Chain A
Amino acid sequence: MSNKLRIFVPVKRVIDFAVKPRVNKAGTGVETTGVKFSINPFCDIAVEEALLLKEGNEGLVENIHVASVGPSKAQDILRQALAKGADDSTLVEMGPKDAELEPLGVAKVLKKLIEEQKSNLVILGKQAIDGDNGQTGQILAGLLKWPQATQASKVSVNGDKVEVTREVDGGVETVAAKLPMIITTDLRLNEPRYVTLPNIMKAKKKPLKVVKIGEFDGVANRLETLKVAEPAKRQAGIKVETVDELVSKLKETGTL
């Protein structure tokens, strides 16, 4: 394999991280009408890392492809990634009534795109902040039989070898693998840039290929959502004036 990187970055459109989601009345999901959507924060970090690898290593990165599986509105986040510096993109379009794919289905779709793109490095977010599954990158690695380094806080490429520092319970660990490989991003990896208006204008001319989800086989969901409910509300607490009161109230609860 050539040492040139062809980076593939899957991105997801999710309810903006600052919005507090509300469960819908029917108890089937969360309210999405009139709610602000944005790129999943971890995906934004993945896009940024691809750009940093390109900018920080002269001639290393041949292409950065971004892709999303979602509604036609997910074009927005692809355009945003293009505006930041990605080269081209694919939207695997789902109808407004299609149920969102589970990570296994998404990974199968992505695998096909990655093979078409002849990518040798895939950078994904470690989890989407809506489903909180944290699976897609690892499943993709399993399907492709590529090595994986999840929860990355540092990535360095040296020839065909990639060193990744991972955030694990209790600290960090460093692993290395040869390309092709899968990396998922943790919050600490980088600080995503903002898009500028001129770049948004330029990005409108960059390629955005739309394919329909119907072109992919074997991606059907395996889970049925029986219900979605509000979490149990906590009993209203009390406010106290002094540390003494705090101590005595905590003693009453038996936890102090």
Chain B
Amino acid sequence: MFALRNQVRTHIARGFASTRFSLSTLAIIEQNNGTIAGSTLNALTAAKELGGDVTALVAGSKAADVAAQVAKISGIAAVLTASSPAYDHGLPENYADLVAAATKEGGFTHVVAPSSAFGKNVLPRVSALLDATQISDVTKIESEDTFVRPIYAGNAIETVKSNDPIKLLTIRASAFPAAELEGGSAGVSDAKDPAAEPQSEWLSEELTKSERPDLGGAKKVVSGGRGLKNKENFDKIMFPLADALGAAVGASRAAVDSGFADNSLQVGQTGKVVAPELYIAVGISGAIQHLAGMKDSKVIAAINKDADAPIFEVADVGLVADLFDAVPELTTKVKA
């Protein structure tokens, strides 16, 4: 039904391609050193749901390589590239200028970016440059001007209608499936590059190296909390379970603040929002800020020795037990 409606709308939009009301979307591609960021593929699915033509924008010194991959995604009408090192590391000042220029040049009605650290950094700045309101963390597209998003740490779901001529959206990755990297053959051309003077300078990065799946896109996540007591326990208990399941490792804010796990592993309102098929919460009480980041998981399991912990209110399967006994036993049984 929805797909049909979209088709009709696309038809209408194409029929009136010369009017400025035709629906067309600019999708910002996040890429790191030639690799498309996972959440971008989810944002592309949302861009396609809007119903108009989707033009992808790729920028950075390896833009051409990435553009070739993006052009193969089904449903992408065109790819714009800005091949310049000024866009490496996603510096927001340069990037926002580029996006704003491309939006004006192409007369786009919608601009879509992933709700990643990159998207959240860049798109509100574009909002200022285009004097258009940005809508954050969209979880559902009801129509071309009506969107659904969580507020109050996911304790309320808001439906908003935008009266702006340009709609800027960041997309919550866990709410849309990833677009497949096949089936398309879009043309690639150069974007209008404003080539702004850089205002800030990228110095360095320290990324957590891991062989495990990326937290944002993992099908299974095992997450540890304060109940693990220290970093040694966290590493000793959570990592083998994650490896046995082929899962990503997450953590509660308490675990991160106490130094058990890296900040980038935090799941919650202020960390990552995940919606894997299976989420196993270990030694996590289930504060509302944590639930905000995981309660859309398909199946939630919890292991906690406190039978009254709020995590059990959202868990499909709860085991009231000492995690120091239960988790190693679970790890062994999963491997078997």
Residue of B nearest to A135 (CB): B124
1/0 per residue B125-138: CB within 8 Å of A? 11111011111110
1/0 per residue A97-128: CB within 8 Å of B? 00000111001000000000000000000110
Contacts of B134 in A (CB 8 A): 103-104, 133, 135, 139
Q: Is the CB of A173 within 8 A of B316?
A: no
* Interface membership of A170, Cβ < 8 A: yes
1/0 per residue A125-169: CB within 8 Å of B? 011011111111111111100111111010000000001001111
| The stretch of B21-29, B49-57, B152-160, B186-194 that contacts the partner chain | B152-160
Q: Is the CB of B319 within 8 A of A231?
A: no
1/0 per residue B301-336: CB within 8 Å of A? 101000100001011111111000010011001100
Take A150-B120, A235-B316 as given contacts and tell me if A142 and B201 are in contact as well, using a CB distance cutoff of 8 Å: no
Contacts of A104 in B (CB 8 A): 127-128, 131-134
Which residue of the partner chain, among B120, B135, B156, contacts A230 with CB atoms under 8 Å? B156
Q: Which residues from 217 to 235 on chain B have a C-beta closer than 8 Å to any C-beta of chain A?
A: 220
Q: Is the CB of A132 within 8 A of B151?
A: yes
| The stretch of A60-68, A204-212, A246-254 that contacts the partner chain | A246-254
Min CB distance A152 to B, Å, is 12
Take A132-B153, A142-B125 as given contacts and tell me if A223 and B277 are in contact as well, using a CB distance cutoff of 8 Å: no
Q: Is the CB of B120 within 8 A of A140?
A: no
* Interface membership of B144, Cβ < 8 A: no
* Interface membership of A52, Cβ < 8 A: no
Contacts of A238 in B (CB 8 A): 316-318
Q: Is the CB of A143 within 8 A of B128?
A: yes
Min CB distance B130 to A, Å, is 9
Distance of A133 Cα from B289 Cα, bound (Å)? 15
* Interface membership of A216, Cβ < 8 A: no
Q: Is the CB of B117 within 8 A of A151?
A: yes
Overall SS of chain A's interface: mixed
Most buried by B among A102, A129, A176, A188: A129
Min CB distance B62 to A, Å, is 18
Distance of A9 Cα from B275 Cα, bound (Å)? 35
Distance of A223 Cα from B149 Cα, bound (Å)? 13
Min CB distance B100 to A, Å, is 9
Contacts of A146 in B (CB 8 A): 199
Q: Is the CB of B162 within 8 A of A147?
A: no
Q: Is the CB of B278 within 8 A of A250?
A: yes
* Interface membership of B264, Cβ < 8 A: yes
Q: Is the CB of B128 within 8 A of A171?
A: no
| The stretch of B4-12, B75-83, B85-93, B102-110 that contacts the partner chain | B85-93
Residue of A nearest to B136 (CB): A133
1/0 per residue A28-66: CB within 8 Å of B? 001000000000000000000000000000000000000
Take A139-B125, A142-B128 as given contacts and tell me if A177 and B199 are in contact as well, using a CB distance cutoff of 8 Å: yes
| The stretch of B64-72, B175-183, B204-212 that contacts the partner chain | B204-212
Take A139-B127, A250-B301 as given contacts and tell me if A23 and B333 are in contact as well, using a CB distance cutoff of 8 Å: no
Distance of A136 Cα from B202 Cα, bound (Å)? 22
Distance of A134 Cα from B333 Cα, bound (Å)? 42
Distance of A223 Cα from B318 Cα, bound (Å)? 41
* Interface membership of A226, Cβ < 8 A: yes
* Interface membership of A192, Cβ < 8 A: no
Q: Which residues from 246 to 264 on chain B have a C-beta closer than 8 Å to any C-beta of chain A?
A: 253, 257, 262-264
Which residue of the partner chain, among B124, B152, B200, contacts A134 with CB atoms under 8 Å? B124
Q: Is the CB of B330 within 8 A of A188?
A: no
* Interface membership of B31, Cβ < 8 A: no
Q: Is the CB of A168 within 8 A of B200?
A: no
Contacts of A228 in B (CB 8 A): 151, 156-159
Residue of A nearest to B135 (CB): A223
Min CB distance A169 to B, Å, is 5
* Interface membership of A213, Cβ < 8 A: no
Take A167-B264, A225-B159 as given contacts and tell me if A175 and B202 are in contact as well, using a CB distance cutoff of 8 Å: yes
| The stretch of A14-22, A73-81, A84-92 that contacts the partner chain | A14-22
Take A175-B91, A175-B203, A243-B321 as given contacts and tell me if A226 and B127 are in contact as well, using a CB distance cutoff of 8 Å: no
Q: Is the CB of A102 within 8 A of B137?
A: no
* Interface membership of B60, Cβ < 8 A: no
Between-chain CB contacts (< 8 Å), 7 pairs: A21-B156, A104-B128, A174-B202, A174-B204, A186-B270, A225-B159, A243-B319
